[in-house]
Amino acid sequence: MKLEHPELIELLQRAYSAERAAAFAYIGHAGSLKCAGAKAAVKRIEDDEWEHRENVLRLMKLYGIPISRSYERRFFLIGKLISASCHVIGRFMPFFFAGKLEGGNVCEYFRMMQFFHSLGIREHDAMLYAMGMKEKEHEVYFLEQIKTSRLLPLFERLFAWGRGRSANDVDLENKSPLEDSDQYCKPKTRRT
């Protein structure tokens, strides 16, 4: 089946490449950490990103969507640059920006689900829901690591992410079940 949904196709292509960039970034992030527990936690998150990339590729193959060479090149460079920078920018910034990134990634998977629904396709719901929730877990983990940092209030103001501020509306403590998850990450309607 060929998808007739340009936004969904582009979102799948971008997510596929961005997951590799995130995995590369976490390789550098884990390598920059001294604490064995933190290294292991970031390595698990890296493994999740590789798994998400595989899942997205399966969807792309199922619908005959080509890999975007442009996204692959761009995100390869971004991932490698972030990976290297983790060794020189200190402890706070890798955790902060990883959390902000993961917070944005949550909605990618819920939007994919909504786009598939608009085409009458629901067979990928469980996988997309699980990936969206896993990204939220990552966001929460990274914020937890820096929640007492003196830098956090400044970075929250500058980058609009942190305690009580996220790019998604998922609450892990009160998460909606799969069948009610269409409510997540709805585009904001503008009032005129």
> Over the stretch 73-87, which tens digit does the pLDDT of each residue have?
999 999 999 999 999
Which candidate, 36, 1, 14, 6, places its Cα nearest to that of 107?
A: 14
Identify the architecture of domain 6-183 in CATH: Up-down Bundle (1.20)
Binning pLDDT at 50, 70 and 90, where does residue 2 land?
Answer: confident
What is the chain's mean pLDDT, rounded?
94
Close Cβ partners of 108 (under 8 Å, ≥ 6 residues apart): 11, 14, 15, 132, 135
Binning pLDDT at 50, 70 and 90, where does residue 188 land?
Answer: low
Backbone dihedral region of 188: left (phi > 0), alpha (psi from -120 to 50 degrees) or beta?
A: beta
**Contact by Cβ (8 Å): 102, 176:** no
The pLDDT of 180-186, averaged and rounded, is 90
The pLDDT of 149-162, averaged and rounded, is 96
Binning pLDDT at 50, 70 and 90, where does residue 157 land?
Answer: very high
Binning pLDDT at 50, 70 and 90, where does residue 177 land?
Answer: very high
Which candidate, 97, 100, 95, 124, places its Cα nearest to that of 112?
A: 124
Residue spans per domain, the chain: 6-183
Which tokens is 33 given? Answer: 């950490």
* The model's pTM: 0.93
Q: How far apart are CA 88 and CA 86, in angstroms?
A: 6
Share of the chain above pLDDT 90, in %: 92
